[in-house]
Chains A and B, each alone.
Chain A
Amino acid sequence: MSWDVVARKDFADAVRSRGLWALSALFVIVFALPPLLLFYLELGQGRPAQTEGSTDVFIFFIKEASALLVPVIAIVVAYAAITHERESGTMKILLSLPHSRRDVVTGKVLGRSAVLAVPIAVGFVFALLVMLPTSLALNLANLVLFALLTMFLGVVFVGIAVGFSAAFSTSRRAMIGSLGLFMLFSFLWNYAVNTVVGELDLGAAAAVRTRLLFKLLNPTQAYKTLVDTLVLDTTREARVTMFSLFQQQQVDQQLPSTLPVQFSDPLVVGYMLLWFAVPVGLGYLAFRDAEL
């Protein structure tokens, strides 16, 4: 078992890349800019205007950006984790040392996850520092949970990207695989689900449930609704919010007042974990039998 050695080496290597620092800067900008704007607006007024907003508002809106940005950055950080070593020939050094291929895949997932955690953490700390002097009431617990959920989303996509990187022999293919899946999640999923559910001709209640289940099976939508759970009153409300504005009322009527277990937070976390575990597992199986 030497995955820890591989992970530390991988982190040490990747953390020295300039690209990573560019990513951190991007995070800082995206997360710190909205509160920074607010800070300046309030500065012009001389005193905090009203104190009814809290940092939860920031979380509610910024999740739309992080749900797009974090997967993309995770893919950039991890898509070539294994293929690059195969293409460049460093894999020959790595696998001449006593590391099993399982240790390599495990070490890569951990190393790249740690790499991704750096810019996310930097971005959040920055955003937090900027929000302190504004009128937003600080809800630190939710901010920390939001940061952890965001890292979790990142780790899921690191798993997907490392899985593709383990399964394919070139970085190009690995990138196409990871980005393809990202596109599916971010842009095609709802359309595909709605089309399929529309064809099935289910009853109104069953249709809503099926659509909700499929939405939750999408890791970026699962992430967003878990974030909403933090800042909205009920989990049920967070699930209803997953639908577009003019559908929400109908969904609200069709969903049972007690949320069925398959829509509960722990299971939604479980669906996200599957998107992590299955690609990593399949990627490992392919890499285990690959010829170098």
Chain B
Amino acid sequence: MAAIELNGVTKRYGDVVALRDVDLTVQEGEIYGFLGPNGAGKSTTINAILDFIDPTSGTVEVLGKDVSAENVEVRHRIGVLPEGFSVYDRLTGRKHLEFAIESKNADDDPETLMERTGILDAADRKAGGYSKGMAQRLVLALALVGDPDLLLLDEPSTGLDPNGARRMREIVREERDRGTTVFFSSHILGQVEAVCDRVGILRDGELVAEDSIEGLREAAGSDGRLSVTVDRVPDGVAEAVSAVDGVSDVSVRDHTLTVKCDDDAKTAVIDAVEGAGATVEDFDTEDASLEDLFVSYTEGRA
């Protein structure tokens, strides 16, 4: 049984298509990173998973149950850190936890959960006075109530300082080790890369890639980047470099050429630059990173 299964999910708002025929499967026990730039449809997808919105077509199942038919049962078994939430200003952190524990018929200790997410110090303060990061920690604690089978975290690092973001990743791993499936969305690859078993990349409402981190690295091939600083940029240098075997892209800014190419083409590129009449003052190479891949997927050049 899959933890999350979307089949042909399309969501239209009038003429605007927010999601286009998305098929997505999250296996039980994995950490799934859901990537995409802002506005790609990540929150729409999560809202469909939470039954906050109805898809125009397609079906959404969570833990084997249809989310619109059995939404209360589903929410008994998941923990959610939604995006764009706000806390109850007049209630303390502890009251929030007590409310969630009561709502889920759980028997968690509020203090243990607040300790885990690092908000225990502020447990008896009204949440209206919390910073964004503190509110994020509080709601993460709410999400952990009732030992959920699935954690749904929408942009969980928003507002967190580096310590908070690290704590978040630790909790995600701890929960996975206890058998919890974790689905989390982000527009920042670094957060996802560090913890995820698999990632899906969303662009303009379509799932454009879905693979393990290793798989994505392989898909990125040996494409690397080479920056070459020259004394001057002679006419035709870009064309000469483009003509080299294994070069996929050349751009020129001031006195620097940025060349995307196979690793073994780099020497040939330097030769071509010098052959065009420029003197190489400095160069720097960079391996293909997931970042490049992410950018290429999300900017539509993949």
List A residues at the B interface (Cβ < 8 Å). 2, 5, 9, 12-13, 16-17, 88-90, 92-93, 95-100, 289, 291-292
Contacts and interface: CB of A to CB of B under 8 A. Distances in A.
B103 A5 contact: yes
CB-based closest 8 A-B pairs: A96-B80, A89-B86, A92-B82, A98-B75, A97-B103, A292-B52, A16-B90, A92-B85
Interface residues of B, number: 30
Contacts of B84: 89, 92
Contacts of A2: 103
B95 A12 contact: yes
A100 B72 contact: yes
A16 B86 CA distance: 18
Contacts of B102: 5
Contacts of B53: 291-292
Interface in B75-115: 75-76, 80, 82-88, 90-91, 95-96, 99-100, 102-104
Contact of B47 (A9, A89, A292): A292
A13 B86 CA distance: 14
Interface of B: 47, 50, 52-54, 71-73, 75-76, 80, 82-88, 90-91, 95-96, 99-100, 102-104, 139, 142-143
Contacts of A17: 90
A64 to B, nearest CB: 34
Contacts of A289: 54
A99 B86 contact: no
A12 B91 contact: yes
30 contacts: A2-B103, A5-B102, A5-B103, A9-B99, A12-B91, A12-B95, A17-B90, A89-B84, A90-B85, A90-B86, A90-B88, A92-B83, A92-B85, A93-B87, A93-B139, A95-B52, A95-B75, A96-B82, A97-B99, A97-B104, A98-B72, A98-B75, A98-B76, A98-B104, A99-B72, A99-B75, A289-B54, A291-B52, A291-B54, A292-B53
B69 to A, nearest CB: 12
A145 B256 CA distance: 88
A100 B80 CA distance: 16
A289 B71 CA distance: 13
Contacts of B99: 5, 9, 97
B50 A95 contact: yes
A130 B103 CA distance: 43
Nearest to B51: A95
Nearest to B103: A97
A95 B83 CA distance: 13
Nearest to B86: A89
A76 to B, nearest CB: 17
A169 to B, nearest CB: 13
Given A9-B99, A90-B88, A291-B54, 11 more contacts: A5-B102, A16-B91, A88-B86, A89-B84, A90-B87, A93-B85, A93-B96, A96-B82, A97-B104, A98-B73, A100-B71
Nearest to A88: B86
Contacts of B54: 289, 291
Contacts of A89: 82, 84-86
Give the one of B50, B73, B99 with max A CB within 10 A.
B99
Given A16-B90, A291-B52, A291-B53, A98 B85 contact: no
Nearest to B90: A16
B35 to A, nearest CB: 21
A98 B86 contact: no
Contacts of B73: 98
A291 B86 CA distance: 18
A287 to B, nearest CB: 12
Contacts of B52: 92, 95, 291-292
Nearest to A9: B99
Give the one of B80, B83, B103 with max A CB within 10 A.
B103
Nearest to A15: B90
Contacts of B87: 90, 93
A96 B50 contact: yes
A95 B76 CA distance: 11
B152 to A, nearest CB: 8
Nearest to B73: A98
A113 to B, nearest CB: 19
A100 B73 CA distance: 10
Contacts of B143: 96
A93 B135 CA distance: 12
